[in-house]
Amino acid sequence: SQLTILDSKRKQPSDTVKSVVDSKEKFEEEFVKHVETSLGRSMYNCDDLAAYQAASNTIRDALIIDWANTQQKQTIQDGKRVYYLSLEFLMGRAMDNALINLKCENNTRQSLNELGFNLEDVLNQEPDAALGNGGLGRLAACFVDSLSSKNYSGWGYGLNYQYGIFEQKIIDGYQIEAPDYWLKYSNPWVLDRNEIQIPVDFYGYVYEEHDPNTGKVKKNWNGGERVLAVASDFPIPGYNTDNTNNLRLWNAKPTNEFDFTKFNAGDYQQSVAAQQRAESITSVLYPNDNFESGKELRLKQQYFWVAASLHDIVRRFKKQHKQNWKKFPDQVAIQLNDTHPTLAVVELQRILVDLEGLEWNEAWSIVTSVFAYTNHTVMAEALEKWPVDLVGRLLPRHLEIIYDINFFFLKEVERKFPGDRDLIRRVSIIDESPKSVKMAFLAIVGSHKVNGVAELHSELIKTTIFKDFVKVFGAEKFTNVTNGITPRRWLRQANPKLAALIAEKLNDPEYDYLTNLGKLKQLEQFVDDEDFLKQWHAIKFDNKRKLAALVKELTDIDIDPSVLFDVQVKRIHEYKRQQLNIFAVIYRYLHIKELLSKGVTIEEIKKNYYIPKASIFGGKAAPGYYMAKTIIHLINKVGEVINADKEIGNLLKVVFIPDYNVSKAEIICPGSDLSNHISTAGTEASGTSNMKFALNGGLIIGTVDGANVEITREIGEENIFLFGNLAESVEELRHKHVFEGVNVPETLQVVFNAIEKEVFGPADEFKSLIDSIRYHGDYYLVTDDFELFLDAHKKLEKVYGHDGGDATDRGHLQEWVKKSVWSVANMGFFSSDRCIDEYAENIWNVEPSNQ
Ligand code: 8GP
């Protein structure tokens, strides 16, 4: 066949390019060439930014070769491929990660040195690719890394937003959003595939056509507005393998088709303006996390992305297998990352029925074998519902298909549960008032598997939001894949010293444990080794120094690396309860002040009450989320007062790190002693930063929620500080708040009083926050968990000890450091490699290729 001929003629990996990662001479030669040709500059006029661009181009060339070979090999092997559809890929920086996965960090460092540059300075030039909001987007980024590293054939499909998540500035304690135009200096890590163009239509009308041959009526959609989807490809290198998958991100571009009616009517400007509007589809990422805003442009983004991706997938399939549609599910698995890509279900059904002429049932059985859906939240405000009117206007044919899918589905329910009218009403994909399409229901009906992202969450969806579907489809359709993180970025890259110490102890000079994270278990044998504990502690101390330097640079606040670093960084959300944390900080401050006023000395306070600590916050609030912004404001105002209070010295500091993002997380996670994962039980589906902190030797204070439950099971109850009411009590407590009133404990009342007495600035600013607790039912159970939180702190501070510990004197920290080692040793389960293996085996039915 043509492919065999192709294969035999295929050039072997070009030696010259590939060798840049292995030889310093070659690297330097290529680097200079890129400075002089790609950048059009001279070596005498090459700053760090230009060095970053030239170095990236050099490494990217090597990657592209692997990438092209991988694609060719996968095409020839003709196995099943996984497509991960995600509206968000929160990639962070690419260069450091590529150096690690290609194992050419040392060479690059030395080459750059010889050329007069420092690797860290060069790496710091790279803007984050921040094409995501938080956990959901970062999970997708970890998954593509694992797909490559574990030798799967797997592509990501997303959008190439010109503006990623906004840049957060803190001005007078308020969050101010600035646009993140991350492509300012172009992006060396992407290959623009201008030749890959797929037309995508919107609006228009549906008409019927009579087929004289079959006597059947065929439906056709005549779109009213056409936009082109143009591909940009990001090669995704695997660790320790040549397998380099593709992340294809679409750009919206105008077509060349010109509106002649407008033109002839003399309205040239109008006609061009309409074309320009096309690009707005992929211009900006919606900045909401766990919340849906329901904007028309968002639905346009979703369809644009889904249509382009599916047509790309179908085109690839047809090239190899013509119209042998029965084979489609053996070749293609599509994972829906949340409900955002659910229109793909409808689009594939449309392609098969309207364009390819398959019978409805045959098409539907193909569709449902291909798709699987991951749910990431149980929170009502995050579940997508699109008004029927809007869907019908934007995608008239799709709305008809949705109605048909619903009709056949409800008929099936009626057959299984005759006469259960209420069940039929409850599971209908169409909500009657206001008339809207429930995307999660459509995703369930269109998929063969539905999964949650941690055990507790996967159980919860079966008993709450999707309960009726368990009844209809059976429990086997619902499964769990507990989230994970890639240890390449979140250990080796973020914490090179700890990664090196572990490699040494595991007698693993090649760092193979990074793709076999269960090996960490062997660290347990060193938990009583004095020297080892000393080294472990010294690394943490060093990482804390780095974090302190970052804090100084960004906020001008000095924090002492020998105090407890108590961190909460994540999106700001009432359910994540940063308010609980800051209220406890206020309580601590007021209590310290009271003790001082009674003549208790600082030394006595340290010894008998509170250890010195720095509370470190960070995270963005959705621009339209007033309460989250109020929480940020309160944290900053509390910080201003406490940090300026000379009387308490380093006993307490409060900082808010502005513009929390992936590259800052890489400094923050290794530098924390303690991190907060304190969501109201049952609200945080999984959490993944809990895993990042624990893998870097930080301990956790947390509620019995999300993946905290499994982390506890793995590392042991004695190594985590759990507190708070359990998920099973939440409903009852909320009910009680509403019907019997909220009971604010004395300790929290003291905090409210101080805020109302304007200790932290105008009380008006924080009124809504306090009112939501005191008068509006305290939905997130701050009052119920407040004192339990204070108690958990007392306990953990006893373990940490009273006078800190510097790099050499670990002293009393013995117990804490042991817990840290013990945790890391048992975090192997949380590698995203394990997740991908589970998806592959239980959901996608694919196997890795043997490289
Ligand atoms: C997040 C969950 O909140 C977090 O617990 C989990 O670790 C992460 O997904 C990855 O699974 N969920 C979302 O970001 C989310 O559901 N966003 C919805 C608007 C879609």
Q: How far is the CA of 770 from the centre of ligand 1 (A)?
A: 26
Q: Check: CB of residue 606 under 8 Å from CB of residue 612.
A: yes
Tokens found for residue 593: 């002040």
The pLDDT of residue 643 is 98
| DSSP alpha helix (H) spans, 19-94 | 24-33, 48-77
Handedness of CA 291, 297, 303, 304 (dihedral sign): negative
pLDDT, mean of residues 616-628: 98
Atom of ligand 1 nearest to the CA of 684: 5
Report the SS3 class of residue 94.
coil
What pLDDT score was predicted for residue 268? 82
Every domain of the chain with CATH number 3.40.50.2000 lies at 78-93+128-482+837-844, 488-830
For ligand 1, the distance from its centroid to the CA atom of residue 383, given in whole angstroms, is 11
Is the pLDDT at 427 greater than 50? The verdict is yes
pLDDT digits (tens, 9 = 90+) for 339-380: 999 999 999 999 999 999 999 999 999 999 999 999 999 999
Paired tokens of 708: 């905290």
CB of 134 shorter than 6 A to ligand 1: yes
Q: What distance separates the 2 farthest-apart alpha carbons in the chain?
A: 98
Q: Which amino acid does the sequence have at 109? A: R
Distance CA 234, CA 140 (A): 14
- The pLDDT value given to residue 276: 80
For 70, residues 6+ apart whose C-beta sits below 8 A from its C-beta are: 242, 243, 244, 245
* 144 Cβ inside 6 Å of ligand 1: no
Do 451 and 843 form a contact (C-beta atoms < 8 A)? yes
User: What is the overall mean pLDDT for the chain?
Assistant: 95
Does 11 score more than 70 pLDDT?
no
Residue nearest to atom 7 of ligand 1 (CA): 687
Whether the pLDDT of residue 675 is over 80: the answer is: yes
Of residues 264 and 609, the one with the higher pLDDT is 609
Measured CA to CA in angstroms, residue 452 lies from 27, 449, 713, 744 at distances of: 45, 10, 18, 34
Which pair of tokens denotes residue 495? 């914490």
More confident residue, 849 or 256: 849
Mean of pLDDT values over 387-413: 98
pLDDT score of 20: 77
Whose C-alpha lies nearest to ligand 1, atom 10? 136
**Average confidence (pLDDT) over 297-321:** 98
Residue 379 backbone dihedrals phi, psi, to 5 degrees:
-80, 125
Q: Dihedral angle at the C-alpha atoms of 455, 457, 462, 467, nearest 10 degrees?
A: 170
d(CA 455, CA 473) in angstroms, rounded, equals: 20
For 488-830, the fitting CATH number among 3.40.50.620, 2.30.30.40, 3.40.50.2000, 3.30.70.2190 is: 3.40.50.2000
What is the arithmetic mean of pLDDT over 229-258? Answer: 94
**Cβ contacts of 632 within 8 Å, gap of 6 or more:** 170, 173, 174, 175, 572, 619, 621, 656
Per the confidence metrics, is the pTM higher than 0.95?
yes
Distance 340 CA to ligand 1 centre (A): 12
- Residue nearest atom 17 in ligand 1 by C-alpha distance: 290
Q: Which of 686, 689, 691, 693 to mutate to test the pocket of ligand 1 (most atoms within 8 A of CB)?
A: 686
Fill in the amino acid letter for 335: Q
Q: What is the pLDDT of residues 24-68, one digit of tens each?
A: 999 999 999 999 999 999 999 999 999 999 999 999 999 999 999
pLDDT tier, 271 (very low <50, low <70, confident <90, very high otherwise): confident
Q: Is the CB of 688 under 6 A from ligand 1?
A: yes
Atom 4 of ligand 1: nearest residue by CA position: 687
The answer for residues whose C-beta is within 8 angstroms of residue 702's C-beta and 6 or more apart is: 676, 677, 678, 690, 708, 720, 721, 722, 723
687 ligand 1 Cβ < 6 A: yes
Q: Which two tokens stand for residue 667?
A: 């400094």
| Residue matched to tokens 């699109």 | 386
Does pLDDT of 198 surpass 90? Answer: yes
- Give residue 623's identity as a one-letter amino acid code: P
- pLDDT attached to residue 256: 76
More confident residue, 14 or 527: 527
- Tell me the pLDDT tens digit for each residue of 718-747: 999 999 999 999 999 999 999 999 999 999
Average the pLDDT over 70-85 and give the result.
96
Write out the two tokens for 370: 């291909």
Q: What local confidence, expressed as pLDDT, does residue 512 receive?
A: 98
SS (H, E, C) 23-42: CHHHHHHHHHHHHHHHCCCC
Is residue 12 scored above 60 in pLDDT? no
Decide the pairing of beta strands 225-237 and 191-202. Answer: antiparallel
pLDDT band at 215 (very low <50, low <70, confident <90, very high): confident
Q: 248: pLDDT confidence band, cut at 50, 70 and 90? A: very high
pLDDT digits (tens, 9 = 90+) for 553-606: 999 999 999 999 999 999 999 999 999 999 999 999 999 999 999 999 999 999
Q: Which of 755, 758, 746 is nearest to 783 (CA)?
A: 746
Residues 133-155, mean pLDDT to the nearest whole number: 98
Q: Once rounded to an integer, what is the mean pLDDT over residues 121-125?
A: 98
Confidence of residue 807 (pLDDT cuts 50, 70, 90): very low
Q: How far is residue 660 from each of residues 94, 550, 690, 772, measured CA to CA in Å?
A: 18, 12, 16, 26
CATH class of 78-93+128-482+837-844: alpha beta
Q: What is the mean pLDDT of residues 498-514?
A: 98
823 CA distance to ligand 1 centroid (A)?
24
The whole-number pLDDT of residue 813 equals 76
Q: Measured from the CB, is residue 452 less than 6 Å from ligand 1? A: no
Predicted local confidence at residue 390, as pLDDT = 98
